[in-house]
Amino acid sequence: MQMTGNTILITGGGSGIGRALAEQFHARGNRVIVAGRRQDALDAVTAANPEMASAVLDIENAQSIIDLAERLKADHPALDAVIHNAGVMRFERVRDGGLADAEAAIATNLLGPIRLTAALLPQLLAQPRATIMTVSSGLAFMPMATAPTYCATKAAIHSYTQSLRYQLKDTAVQVLELIPPYLQTELMGPGQASDPRAMPLKAFIAEVMSLLEGSPDAGEICVEQVKSLRFAEANGGFDGFFKTFNDATSETQ
């Protein structure tokens, strides 16, 4: 990925990974548009970074995605990168029978990036070079049983990204996958932001930007802390690791 001179849309850009990436890319001379559901969160980002643009987006809503794509075509014709960062993670007790959390995860984490990619692809293909970056998770490769649908959507995003990369291999669109570990963000609530077991967000972003700069042709962006999850299957002993990992995580919830 070229690190400067891009026009980049970042979903879920009002906080967490999305905001941190937006500020780093902005500092490197890119035009950044942050998108998200909450206008107040977007306003906080643009107030701190006046040259950034923002757009309200309900990633669960198909029409909202189409409307955003039309606005971007008109207002940002040079758009040549999208980072699919918006996501939700909720714990589920499958024996309780409720589906609201599962359906929200599928709509946000899986259908959202697929729909937005489809809506933006004509504009991206028209550029001399372009980038699509999905954000999956280490939990795509080592599921956490207490968040089954979240993990399933991230596994699906990994698979979708591989197929997207193959289908676009003869175009100027580069397809990347960012695979975060457990981070100090508020994805699962305010307590996560100070959890000492989680990787500090600042350290994660610094390592990600270094990897992007040092390996511009890499398909997957994996910081060291996520590699035990990413390569659990390849390294052997998956079943034992799965039990140990889930026994440990279930005890803390």
Report all structural domains of the chain as residue ranges with CATH numbers, in order of start.
7-251 (3.40.50.720)
* CA neighbor of 9 nearest in space, from 63, 81, 77: 81
Specify whether the backbone of 34 is left (phi greater than 0), alpha (psi in -120 to 50) or beta. Answer: beta
Burial class (CB in 10 A: 0-12, 13-18, 19+), 178: buried
Half-sphere exposure at residue 148, Cβ-oriented, CA atoms within 13 angstroms = 8
| d(C-alpha 7, C-alpha 33), whole Å | 8
Residues in the chain: 253
Catalytic position from the list 150, 160, 166, 182: 150
Mean pLDDT of residues grouped by 10 in the chain (253 residues)?
96 96 97 96 96 97 98 98 96 92 97 98 98 98 97 98 98 98 88 90 97 94 98 95 92 58
Is residue 150 among the annotated active site residues?
yes
3-class SS of residue 55: strand
| d(C-alpha 23, C-alpha 26), whole Å | 5
Half-sphere exposure at residue 116, Cβ-oriented, CA atoms within 13 angstroms = 32
- Beta bridge mates, 56: 36
Strands annotated E in the chain = 7-11, 31-36, 53-56, 81-84, 130-135, 173-179, 220-222
- Beta bridge mates, 54: 34
The pLDDT, as a whole number, for residue 187 is 86
pTM: 0.95
The pLDDT, as a whole number, for residue 20 is 97
> Contacts by 72-76 with C-beta closer than 8 Å and gap 24+?
72/9, 72/33, 72/120, 72/123, 73/123, 76/7, 76/9, 76/31, 76/33
Burial class (CB in 10 A: 0-12, 13-18, 19+), 131: buried
DSSP letter (8 states) at residue 36: E
The pLDDT, as a whole number, for residue 186 is 80
